[in-house]
């Protein structure tokens, strides 16, 4: 009998130990960080990992994994279901395509407590149900004042005969291509976008165009080598131009520059929607926006960010500047882009 009691005691001990071990393993698994997969461009990766992602990981017990590439490639991976992504950074042009194809979750705006701090244009650039813009840039004009006969202050100045064979323009398939087409419509005298007037005006500028560019590096190389003296470009890349040509100038055209907004959305089907929305709200916070601005990484949309003149140099910053920018209706752009591309190739391709 005593022997039986001892055996039962031993069995009880092992059962308790096993249960305790299972509970500890379960507790450990609860403590293990969950993965949050973020689809982004990959520039300034070291900065983002250390200054932006790391504090969020520690606070929310997540491990951020990056899926890196350009807008088109990353969006295609989500379309095809070959990327397990939770949060997606895209330019507004490509984000609208994702919305049209029902690739994003609808945002719970009550979770975005920081959205009240951002410029109105950035709060819901593609509609209240989808993500905000976390940064804003300007599409304007860069030129070399030492190589032009008169200063460039306006979109229409790019049509001057003095600039024959000396400028570049963005291709229609690039993010900024539709913006320049819109600018051509304005130069034609149309208050509202007029496709026929825009293409007619584009034909007039082609003698000035050395080559269309689709990547910013092409613009920078042509400018540095003196192949071009001017062209429309996003302000965020002007530092590269000025590094090659120190006297270069960036101009906000008198008719208005165009708003270039990078958005952040939650990908449909994620099991991390709550923490994904926390991350989006975090990206809008004054702390993150200030770090990115002072690091010369992104122009802030948070109106509480205060920068000195030196800190703001090269950034699209300030209420006056941001309110002067022209936002395009990306839903309209995407509905018409195929027709514009076909017409561009027929009538303008060099």
**Which pLDDT tens digit goes with each residue over 272-313?**
999 999 999 999 999 999 999 999 999 999 999 999 999 998
In a domain, 323, yes or no: no
pLDDT value, residue 32:
86
Regarding whether 251 and 151 lie in a shared domain, the answer is: yes
pLDDT value, residue 80:
94
Regarding whether 206 and 334 lie in a shared domain, the answer is: yes
Place of tokens 């398939």: 173
pLDDT value, residue 314:
86
pLDDT value, residue 275:
97
Regarding whether 252 and 148 lie in a shared domain, the answer is: yes
Classify 32 as helix, strand or coil: coil
Regarding whether 293 and 172 lie in a shared domain, the answer is: no
Q: Which residues of the chain have pLDDT under 50?
A: 26-28
Question: Which residue range is the domain that position 5 belongs to?
Answer: 1-28
In a domain, 324, yes or no: no
pLDDT digits (tens, 9 = 90+) for 72-125: 999 999 999 988 999 999 999 999 999 999 999 999 999 999 999 999 999 999
Report angle CA 50, 56, 61 to the nearest 5 degrees. 115
In a domain, 81, yes or no: yes
Regarding whether 151 and 209 lie in a shared domain, the answer is: yes
pLDDT value, residue 26:
47
Overall number of domains in the chain: 3
Report the distance separating Cα 279 and Cα 285, nearest Å: 10
Regarding whether 165 and 19 lie in a shared domain, the answer is: no
pLDDT value, residue 152:
97
In a domain, 274, yes or no: yes
In a domain, 325, yes or no: no
| CATH code of the domain containing 220 | 3.40.190.10
In a domain, 167, yes or no: yes
pLDDT value, residue 15:
59
Regarding whether 199 and 69 lie in a shared domain, the answer is: no
pLDDT value, residue 24:
52
Regarding whether 75 and 217 lie in a shared domain, the answer is: no
Report the distance separating Cα 271 and Cα 273, nearest Å: 6
Regarding whether 338 and 231 lie in a shared domain, the answer is: yes
Report angle CA 267, 272, 277 to the nearest 5 degrees. 70
pLDDT value, residue 83:
85
pLDDT value, residue 175:
87
Token pair listed for 78: 């989500």
């Amino acid at each position: 009998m005593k022997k039986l009691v001892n055996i039962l005691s031993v069995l009880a001990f092992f059962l308790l130990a096993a249960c305790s071990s299972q509970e500890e393993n379960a507790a450990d698994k609860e403590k293990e960080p969950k993965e949050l997969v973020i689809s982004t461009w990959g520039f300034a990766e070291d900065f983002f990992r250390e200054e932006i992602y790391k504090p969020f990981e520690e606070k929310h017990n997540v491990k951020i994994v990056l899926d890196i590439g350009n807008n088109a490639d990353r969006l295609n991976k989500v379309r095809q279901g070959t990327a397990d992504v939770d949060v997606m950074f895209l330019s507004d042009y490509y984000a609208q395509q994702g919305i049209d194809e029902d690739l994003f979750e609808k945002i719970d705006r009550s979770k975005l407590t920081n959205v009240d701090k951002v410029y109105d244009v950035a709060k819901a650039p593609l509609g209240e149900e989808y993500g905000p813009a976390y940064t804003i840039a300007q599409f304007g004009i860069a030129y070399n004042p030492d190589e032009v006969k008169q200063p460039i202050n306006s979109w229409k100045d790019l049509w001057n005969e003095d600039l024959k064979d000396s400028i570049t323009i963005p291709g229609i398939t690039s993010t900024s291509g539709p913006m320049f087409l819109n600018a051509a419509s304005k130069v034609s005298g149309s208050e509202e976008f007029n496709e026929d007037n825009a293409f007619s005006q584009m034909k007039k500028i082609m003698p000035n165009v050395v080559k269309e560019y689709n990547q910013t590096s092409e613009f920078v190389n042509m400018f540095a080598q003196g192949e071009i003296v001017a062209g429309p470009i996003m302000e965020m890349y002007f530092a590269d131009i000025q590094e090659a040509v120190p006297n270069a100038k960036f101009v906000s055209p008198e008719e208005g520059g165009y708003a270039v907004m990078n958005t952040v959305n939650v990908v449909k089907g994620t099991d991390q929607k709550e923490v994904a929305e926390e991350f989006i709200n975090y990206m809008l916070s004054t702390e993150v926006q200030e770090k990115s601005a002072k690091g010369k990484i992104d122009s802030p949309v948070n109106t509480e960010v205060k920068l000195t003149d030196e800190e703001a140099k090269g950034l699209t910053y300030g209420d006056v500047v941001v309110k002067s920018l022209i936002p395009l209706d990306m839903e309209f752009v995407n509905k018409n882009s195929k027709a514009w591309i076909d017409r561009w190739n027929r009538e303008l391709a060099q």
